[in-house]
Amino acid sequence: MNHRRSVTGTRGRRTARRVTAAVAPVLAAGLLAGCAQELPVPEAEPAVVGAVVTEEQEKTIISRVAESVDKASKEKDAGALDRMTGPAKELRTSEIEVARILGKEGEAQPLPMTMQSVVLPSEPTWPRTSFAVSTQPKDLTPPVLYAFTQNSARSDYQMWAWADLLPGVTLPQFASTDTGTERVAPDDADSLVMSPQKALAAYADVIGEDKDSKYAKQVEDDEFRAFLRDQETRQEKADGWKEAEGKYSFSASADDDHGVEGMRTVDGGAIVMGAVNSMQVIQLQDGAEAPPSKSLPTQVALFGDQDVTNVQRTKYFDIVGLYIPPAGSSEKVRLVGFEHVAVSVSNE
């Protein structure tokens, strides 16, 4: 695994009841009178399937999450991230820690929370998942894909994950907000070309092994992977790299602790989000030094006052959004968005 890289940087049911108590005595009387004709029994109406959360409710949910996250971020108080959970909370906690180390100049990345579209849940049970896509920020950075979850009827919705969409990406169509969208099970391998769990693991393997991955032919190449390859090439062309006997490696694995969240697309596929742990290692010959780059303030802050050695080990926490085609499709799994943030740097 000697590959690569570093990056800095989407009603309740109405069930008709049979009126059997009123019908039974009438039927009995008719039979006693020798009447051969039975009175019609009303049939139950089909259940009405629809979103269990309205657009207005979702808008209120998102505004409350945004207010809570913004407050915790500005105050640099990771303990106040009570409207975040899962990968989102882990990533934001690290960002706030770095912001505190950097002092006045430090701040967690802004999260645009004005949405251009929402994907609402259709199941009346819990847990529930919803997605949303932000509007295009004024600085023309890509819109952000969000996942929100609610574990029970009495718990708050929380932000579970976010990822910047790839430039120019077009997401597959979801069901209308009137109908609502089905939540996809993590182990659903019957309706998809591979289960969400397996797709996340496959993508992690591909970014670590690139063309040598056993999943290389099942996962579409993308800008993130191209950027990671470019980072490796730049490192290997750095001044003094050969003289210092430089070695570069990159590895990645799916974060099973957080699992995956996914929602069904109209074509029968799914958009899923999950976390990946990745590691970049730079190793030079004994006596050489591999300090964090001054152009990467996050790495400098995380490295702190450790002694500089010939090894630099940077751990990243990644959140990825993937499209998984429906079973029987010839399409490949493909990336739609990602976050790739350094969360620790060590000298060994």
**Percentage above 70 pLDDT, the chain:** 86
Least confident window among 25-34, 166-175, 338-347 = 25-34
Say what the pLDDT of residue 49 is. 58
Dihedral of the alpha carbons of 324, 252, 162, 230, in degrees to the nearest 10? -90
Lowest mean pLDDT among 46-55, 154-163, 247-256, 302-311: 46-55
What is the band of 13 on the pLDDT scale with cuts at 50, 70, 90?
Answer: very low
Give yes or no for residue 33 having a pLDDT over 50.
no
Among candidate residues 320, 322, 233, 211, the one with its CA nearest the CA of residue 269: 322
**Average pLDDT, integer, range 216-235:** 95
pLDDT of residue 1: 44
- pLDDT for res 232: 94
Residue 215, pLDDT score: 98
3: pLDDT strictly greater than 50 = no
Q: Which of 7-16, 185-194, 222-231, 328-337 has the lowest mean pLDDT?
A: 7-16
More reliable by pLDDT, 12 or 228: 228
pTM for this model (two decimals) = 0.85
Mean pLDDT of all residues in 29-56:
54
Question: Does 12 have pLDDT greater than 90?
Answer: no
Mean pLDDT, all residues of the chain: 88
CA angle (186, 336, 61) in 5-degree steps: 70
Beta strands of the chain (E only): which ranges? 115-119, 128-134, 144-150, 158-165, 183-184, 247-254, 260-264, 270-283, 311-324, 334-346
**Rounded mean pLDDT of 28-37?**
36
pLDDT at 50: 82
What mean pLDDT comes out for the span 333-338?
A: 98
What are the tens digits of pLDDT across the range 66-88?
A: 999 999 999 999 999 999 999 99
C-alpha dihedral over 205, 211, 216, 222, to 10 degrees? 90
**158-182 mean pLDDT:** 96
Residues 342, 315 contacting (CB under 8 angstroms): yes
pLDDT for the residue 32: 30
Q: In terms of pLDDT, which residue wins out, 257 or 7?
A: 257
pLDDT for 17: 28
- The pLDDT > 90 percentage for the chain reads 81
**Average pLDDT, integer, range 265-293:** 97
Q: What share of the chain is helix, strand, coil (3-state, %, to 5)?
A: 25, 25, 45
Instruction: Quick: pLDDT tens for 100-152.
Output: 999 988 999 999 999 999 999 998 999 999 999 999 888 888 999 999 999 99
| CA-closest candidate to residue 266, choices 53, 59, 122 | 122
HSE-CB at 3 with a 13 A cutoff on CA atoms is 20
